[in-house]
């Protein structure tokens, strides 16, 4: 129904593991976020949500926060749904919303450095191959987008310091 409107929208994973504060399991549900290029009135949005038997629509204050909420990224006390189960429709682009925060990026770089030390990685090619196959959703995008330089320098420095010890 929503796809037929040709409006960008995003579908959360099925929330079937959520629980209330008292421990009672919540009814399974999806979250949906519609994306518009211009302001829409409540009445306009209600017309759309009525088509899918949705509860009353709510304005989203921040798209990034909502997309991250779809998988509880910033709510570690809640069930963590898989990011790959978020489905963009109608040309919606969500990768920028799911990218690591600055703090998360530093934590992931630290993890990579520990991995390099533990596995004795001496070439960037080894690191990229591993990240692509085993850590595609977190390490690989960082290495492709903005952290390859520091990780490459770390590997190079490690390799040079090993040669000096010989």
Residue 96 confidence (pLDDT)? 82
Residue 114 confidence (pLDDT)? 97
Nearest to 59 by CA among 94, 30, 34, 85: 34
The tens digit of pLDDT for each residue in 100-142 reads 888 989 999 999 999 999 999 999 999 999 999 999 988 999 9
Percent of the chain whose pLDDT exceeds 70: 98
CA 66 from chain centre, in angstroms, equals 11
Provide the angle, in degrees to the nearest 10, between the axes of the packed helices 124-134 and 148-165.
130
Residue 84 confidence (pLDDT)? 87
Flag whether the pTM goes above 0.75.
no
Residue 66 confidence (pLDDT)? 94
Residue 95 confidence (pLDDT)? 85
- CATH 3.40.1310.30 fits domain 3-98: yes
Residue 140 confidence (pLDDT)? 94
* Burial (0-12, 13-18, 19+ Cβ within 10 Å), 151: buried
Q: What is the mean pLDDT of residues 66-88?
A: 92
Kindly indicate the confidence band of residue 48, based on its pLDDT and cuts at 50, 70 and 90. Answer: very high
* Burial (0-12, 13-18, 19+ Cβ within 10 Å), 142: buried
Kindly indicate the confidence band of residue 162, based on its pLDDT and cuts at 50, 70 and 90. Answer: confident
| Distance separating alpha carbons of residues 56 and 161, to the nearest angstrom | 62
Q: What is the mean pLDDT of residues 73-97?
A: 91
What token pair was written down for 37? Answer: 């290029």
CB atoms inside a 10 Å sphere around CB 18: 14
Contact indicator for 40, 52 with CB cutoff of 8 Å:
no
Residue 165 confidence (pLDDT)? 67
Percent of the chain whose pLDDT exceeds 90: 73
Q: What totals of helices (H) and strands (E) does the chain contain, helices first?
A: 7, 3
Q: Is 51 helix (H, G, I), strand (E, B) or coil?
A: helix
* Phi, psi of 33, deg, nearest 5: -125, 120
């Amino acid at each position: 129904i929503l796809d037929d409107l040709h409006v960008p929208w995003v579908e959360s994973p099925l929330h079937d593991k959520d629980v209330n504060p008292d421990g009672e399991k919540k009814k399974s549900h999806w979250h949906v976020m519609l994306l518009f290029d211009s302001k829409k009135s409540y009445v306009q949005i209600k017309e759309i949500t009525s088509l899918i038997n949705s509860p009353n629509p709510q304005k989203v204050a921040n798209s990034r926060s909502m997309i991250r909420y779809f998988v509880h990224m910033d709510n570690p006390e809640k069930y963590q749904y898989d990011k790959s189960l978020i489905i963009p429709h109608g040309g919606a682009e969500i990768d920028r919303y799911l990218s690591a925060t600055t703090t998360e990026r530093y934590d992931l770089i630290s993890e990579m450095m520990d991995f390099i030390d533990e596995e004795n990685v001496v070439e960037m090619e080894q690191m990229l191959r591993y990240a692509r196959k085993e850590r595609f959703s977190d390490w690989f995008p960082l290495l492709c987008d903005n952290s390859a330089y520091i990780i490459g320098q770390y590997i190079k420095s490690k390799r040079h310091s090993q040669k000096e010890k010989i």
